Structure 1
């Protein structure tokens, strides 16, 4: 369980990111831009999950989210807080029934943030923010949908921004569209961009069809405080962990 620091205003932050991401000429609506990210990602995530967890039974639909979230075993596993054991039927029942002892809130790390979507109970930070799914989502949002295909199941093929920049530089076709990180001048993966991606991915895995800052017991205002984990890392060891994490993202 993590300790949360003062809240960020999530809607304002997501709108700011979206405005910066989509600014190329006339300023577009921040809400519309963030909505584009949300709409595009929630469709492609189903395709990724189908490949990562093949065969998927029952299959997920790209146009309907009602069977996602904790309704489905795979998306439920990915959204499940790591302190709960999703493989236990009792856990699934309690979470789905919103049992007071099994409420899914934003104060815990969901499994989709971890390498192989599992964690070491003796070291909760091991593999945190190293998941292939999170990296795919980042590339889809900040570089290009095609670059997300470079990510292997174990998260290899990171180089989240620079690889796409090199590829675009080498292409002679003038019509090639610059990716969003290039448009906003982001040369390296940033802390807030990871937080933005985590929020978008969490929503994509849920069974909620329209964006809300609060989904049941899960508060996206609080979840965006993921950035505090980076920016206010307590102590030398934690700071070293963050340094290594960003090194992994930018390798």
Structure 2
């Protein structure tokens, strides 16, 4: 039998096994068998909220992405796509890269409309179950990360596992101080109870425009330059380790190398911390400190979606600024044990908020922005001048050096390997292998327009009978 025919038969057998697995998948998206063909896809889905988007409507993301990739191209339709749909497609393309042969599977499932819908719902359930698992894991374990010294410090009044979350949030002084806007911390410390009473009475509205002190290393905070200490909080760092490198590593990064079980970061080949997974941990800890009993995107006047996207936007918009580079290096130093690779960049248009309270984006960069920009330009000019001088000096002796180094070593004549910023898609293979390291989502490469193909309309072209609730708009 020809090798290609044998491979096709194995592929069809695997696909049939996956269809059987879909029939045996529970409504929660968790697998009922120890080993089945759905495992790689549901496992990949479990990382979506953690590293791609905490608030996106997953079913709509998958639907829009599949329609864009597999339906016939229509230039007029592409022009009519709204900004949200284009953002959904971009997110789908980025996520799909992390799943081997995902496009091939979807192409086959389009011939099985009921199985395709079942597959997408299983993926959606796995996505949300992973977020729920982290929320539950941090409900009690996360309390120790809020103490300066968990070995000595205690909550006063005490918070026990038997207590409901009603005692947390703005009803507990230590929790309230973490939720308090960093710029109000002096006012809070003067009279914590009075500040808490104002919040509970609605006299003070805490919104996403006010960065909580929980996000800061408050020893570095400067109300006139709010980027200082931003996202360097010990609380957020320990929560991140809890989620991505394991609970045993949370209190000390020195414990990461001693863990017998790989954390979620290594299991999903995360290259290094990125702003999206950092903000995932930050939002999880904000919820842990709040008095909300079950996950909700809004607590009082605080819209988690605004909080999440605003932080992502400010870091992405300033990715080339030194303070962002320093922040990312700080995080990499605090979270060893992940795959070593350079992160790709991901850009999304800033989310907006309808809240009319004072905005912590004011004075975020302080008075040093212009001076810092000028200094960066001067450093770049000096660097280029030094490079030109070095190249001129090197050119004079390059011929002799090359002749000496190539003697007896013909491999030195090979051209150098070109640098690359991120790995390309993995080549197809018949047996599973390790996935390439990945970092935070980056922009999807432009697709060429294939020739129109006559095919039956996708089952996703019709809205589902009971569409999932609309999620946060991607802007």
- TM-score with structure 1 setting the length: 0.76
Gaps of 5+ in 2: 1-51, 62-94, 100-121, 334-475
1:183 and 1:71 mapped to 2: Cα distance? 38
Alignment pair present for 1:132 and 2:234: yes
Bigger Rg over Cα? 2
Write out aligned runs for 1:169-188 (5 A).
176-188=260-272
Alignment pair present for 1:232 and 2:232: no
Write out aligned runs for 1:161-200 (5 A).
164=256, 166-167=257-258, 176-200=260-284
2:271 and 2:241 mapped to 1: Cα distance? 13
What is residue 222 of structure 2 aligned with on the other side? 120
What is residue 11 of structure 1 aligned with on the other side? 55
What is residue 242 of structure 1 aligned with on the other side? 324
1:49 and 1:122 mapped to 2: Cα distance? 26
* 2:271 partner SS: coil
What is residue 42 of structure 1 aligned with on the other side? 139
1:31 and 1:217 mapped to 2: Cα distance? 24
What is residue 77 of structure 1 aligned with on the other side? 177
What is residue 160 of structure 1 aligned with on the other side? none
Work out whether residues 111 and 119 of structure 1, in 8 Å CA contact, stay in contact via their aligned partners in 2: no
Asked which structure has the greater RCO (Cα within 8 Å, sep 6+), the reply is: 1
* 1:195 partner SS: helix
Go from structure 1 to structure 2 and tell me whether the alpha carbon gap of 1:10 and 1:210 turns closer, same or farther (over 3 Å shift): same
2:210 and 2:331 mapped to 1: Cα distance? 22
Work out whether residues 14 and 34 of structure 1, in 8 Å CA contact, stay in contact via their aligned partners in 2: no
Work out whether residues 46 and 62 of structure 1, in 8 Å CA contact, stay in contact via their aligned partners in 2: no
Q: Shift in Å at residue 211 of structure 1?
A: 0.5
Go from structure 1 to structure 2 and tell me whether the alpha carbon gap of 1:197 and 1:9 turns closer, same or farther (over 3 Å shift): closer
* 1:107 partner SS: coil
* 2:160 partner SS: coil
Deviations along 1:57-102, whole A, 9 cap, x unmatched?
1011234211110110000000001222211334332112111xx2
Deviations along 1:143-188, whole A, 9 cap, x unmatched?
100000216xxxxx6xxxxx73x445xxxxxxx4321001111121
What is residue 290 of structure 2 aligned with on the other side? 206
- Equivalent residue pairs, number: 215
What is the RMSD of the two structures over their aligned residues, measured on CA atoms? 2.9
Go from structure 1 to structure 2 and tell me whether the alpha carbon gap of 1:12 and 1:133 turns closer, same or farther (over 3 Å shift): same
What is residue 161 of structure 2 aligned with on the other side? 62
What is residue 300 of structure 2 aligned with on the other side? 216
- TM-score with structure 2 setting the length: 0.42
Go from structure 1 to structure 2 and tell me whether the alpha carbon gap of 1:14 and 1:122 turns closer, same or farther (over 3 Å shift): farther
Alignment pair present for 1:88 and 2:174: no
Deviations along 1:107-134, whole A, 9 cap, x unmatched?
1110011114772223222111111111
1:74 and 1:201 mapped to 2: Cα distance? 14
2:173 and 2:238 mapped to 1: Cα distance? 21
Which range is displaced more, 81-90 or 177-186? Answer: 81-90
Work out whether residues 195 and 224 of structure 1, in 8 Å CA contact, stay in contact via their aligned partners in 2: yes
Gaps of 5+ in 1: 1-7, 152-156, 158-162, 169-175
* 2:55 partner SS: helix
